[in-house]
Each structure stands twice: as structure tokens, then as C-alpha cells.
């Protein structure tokens, strides 16, 4: 398991995701102050794939340098203010989600066993002693 | 700008991405120890969208509980070992990428001005004094 490579790939995906969030923030701001430009940026962002944040910014700078610089500023700000909380949030989030999956799975297989044991009593695991035998 | 919501959404995306990385790791491990199961897991992962990590795990647990638990363990491990480096990596990565975009953009517009000034001298900003006038 190449942890260093996983960390590098994850950081790249995260940077692209923060670029996407910055675009959403700027579109929301523009829709209040300059609706025409908000529509333009929205159109541009659906045409130019935002999955690769760097290629997106590069293309945007060629079309509209002011918006390009604005989104770059917002994503730098987001990187500072959001990422510091992520390690804790992601660790706790995954731990809790895992626990919930285990709980649900246990519930599911218990219910399955229960429904099997009630519909086909002969196939059930003996959970109660057979009292008939005792009385005979 | 709702930073709290951005952080929550980002953490969710990150958890799903780490689930995807865990699947890749487990597929790689299985291809050494149990190639048939590696192919099965690969097929399962292309059919069941991994964008939503929780829905993916839920589905996998119903089909193959051992693999489901294994991937859950790997992603918990990744969350611990990878996320602590992310804030620094993402901040530095975005700062450097922004600097590089600014540099390239500056280079591009300087070159544009240069090519405009050489192909249409009349449209250029006077960067040098007109020596012809001096001599006349």
C-alpha cells in the first residue's frame, strides 16, 4: 500500500473539489451583484469540466481573467479555513459510518435468521432447549 | 459563504474518495492472493457507483460481507494515516498552483502584447522613444 501516493492523489482531488466549491460560492455572489455574469460563469463551468481544477482555472483565465483570479482567491481562503477541520471530521465520520454499517448488517442477518427459523423451523439453530424431550 | 456546510460536504466527498482508494488497495491485494475474487470485486465496483461510499458499502455487505468489512477496515486506517497530512498538502498545493497560474497568465498576456506590438507597431504602447523624430 503506497500511502504517500494515496495522500498525493487525495490532496489533488481535494484541491479540485475546493475549486468546485469556490465556483459555486462565486456564482452565488454574482447572482446577487451581476446576474448576467453569474449565468455566464455557470455556463462556462458546465462546458468546461471542473473535475480537473487546474485545467478549469487555466481555461477560465484565458476567457475571463477577473473571474479566474477571484476563484483562485476564494479557493486559497477555503483551503486555509476548511482543511484544518477535515482530519477530525473524516476520521470520526468514517468510524461512525462503519459502526452504523456493522449495526445494520448485524440487524439484517439476525432478522434473516429469525425469518428462516420461523418459516422453516427444522432449519433453525436451536436457540431454546426442546422442552418436549424433557417431558417425555 | 456557509463554511460549515462546505466543510461538511468536503468531509463527505473525502470519505467517499478514501472508500474508493480502499477498494483499489483491496483489489490489488486480492489479485495476488485470490484473483477470482479480485475480478468479482472489480466487476461489482464498476456496476455499483462508488461516488457514494456509504451506499456502496451497504450494497457490498449484502453481497459479500467479508469484503465489505475488509474495505471498511482499510478506509478507517487510511482516514487515520492520510488525512493528518492533507491540510498542509492542500494549502501548499493550492498556493503553488495559484502562483503558477498567475505566472503563466502574466507570461501569456505579455507575449500577446509583444506579438500585437510587433505585428501592428501602430497599436503598440510606446516603450521606446521615437528616435526618427529626434533626428528630424
A1 touches chain B (CB under 8 A): yes
Residues 6 or more apart whose CB falls under 8 angstroms from that of B131 comprise none
Task: Give contacts of A76 with chain B, Cβ < 8 Å.
Answer: 94-95, 98
> How far is B83 from A18, CA to CA, in rounded Å?
16
Q: Mean pLDDT in chain A?
A: 87
For residue A134, pLDDT over 50 is answered with no
- CATH of residue B67: 1.10.1200.210
> How far is A30 from A64, CA to CA, in rounded Å?
14
Backbone dihedral region of A34: left (phi > 0), alpha (psi from -120 to 50 degrees) or beta? beta
B82·A6 Cβ contact <8 A: yes
> How far is B134 from A38, CA to CA, in rounded Å?
52
For residue A37, pLDDT over 50 is answered with yes
Is B117 contained in some domain? no
Is A92 contained in some domain? no
Task: Give contacts of B76 with chain A, Cβ < 8 Å.
Answer: 94-95, 98
pLDDT reported for residue A50: 87
Is A79 contained in some domain? yes
For residue A128, pLDDT over 70 is answered with no
Is A96 contained in some domain? no
For B26-78, what is each residue's pLDDT tens digit? 999 999 999 999 999 999 999 888 889 999 999 999 999 999 999 999 999 99
Is A124 contained in some domain? no
Q: Name the residue range of residue A19's domain.
A: 3-85
A94·B105 Cβ contact <8 A: no
For residue A126, pLDDT over 50 is answered with no
Mean pLDDT, residues A53-67: 95
What distance lies between CA B29 and its chain's CA centroid? 24
Is B91 contained in some domain? no
Q: Which of residues 11-30 of A touch B (CB under 8 A)?
A: 11-15, 17-18, 21, 25
> How far is A87 from B14, CA to CA, in rounded Å?
10
Give residue for cell 498552483: B97
What number is the ipTM of this complex? Answer: 0.80
Is B99 contained in some domain? no
Give residue for cell 455499483: B48
Query: What single DSSP character describes residue A84?
Result: G
Number of structural domains, chain B?
A: 1
B61·A105 Cβ contact <8 A: yes
Is A107 contained in some domain? no
A80·B98 Cβ contact <8 A: no
Task: Give contacts of A53 with chain B, Cβ < 8 Å.
Answer: 97
B74 within 8 A of B26, measured Cβ to Cβ: yes
Mean pLDDT, residues A21-43: 97
Amino acid at each position: 500500500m503506497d500511502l504517500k501516493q494515496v495522500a498525493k492523489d487525495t490532496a489533488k482531488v481535494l484541491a479540485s473539489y475546493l475549486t468546485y466549491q469556490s465556483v459555486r460560492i462565486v456564482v452565488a455572489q454574482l447572482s446577487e451583484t451581476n446576474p448576467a455574469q453569474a449565468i455566464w460563469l455557470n455556463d462556462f463551468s458546465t462546458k468546461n469540466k471542473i473535475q480537473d481544477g487546474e485545467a478549469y482555472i487555466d481555461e477560465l483565465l484565458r476567457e475571463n481573467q477577473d473571474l479566474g483570479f477571484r476563484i483562485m482567491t476564494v479557493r486559497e481562503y477555503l483551503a486555509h479555513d476548511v482543511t484544518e477541520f477535515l482530519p477530525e471530521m473524516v476520521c470520526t465520520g468514517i468510524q461512525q459510518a462503519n459502526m452504523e454499517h456493522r449495526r445494520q448488517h448485524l440487524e439484517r442477518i439476525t432478522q434473516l435468521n429469525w425469518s428462516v427459523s420461523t418459516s422453516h423451523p427444522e432449519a433453525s439453530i436451536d436457540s431454546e432447549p426442546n422442552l418436549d424431550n424433557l417431558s417425555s
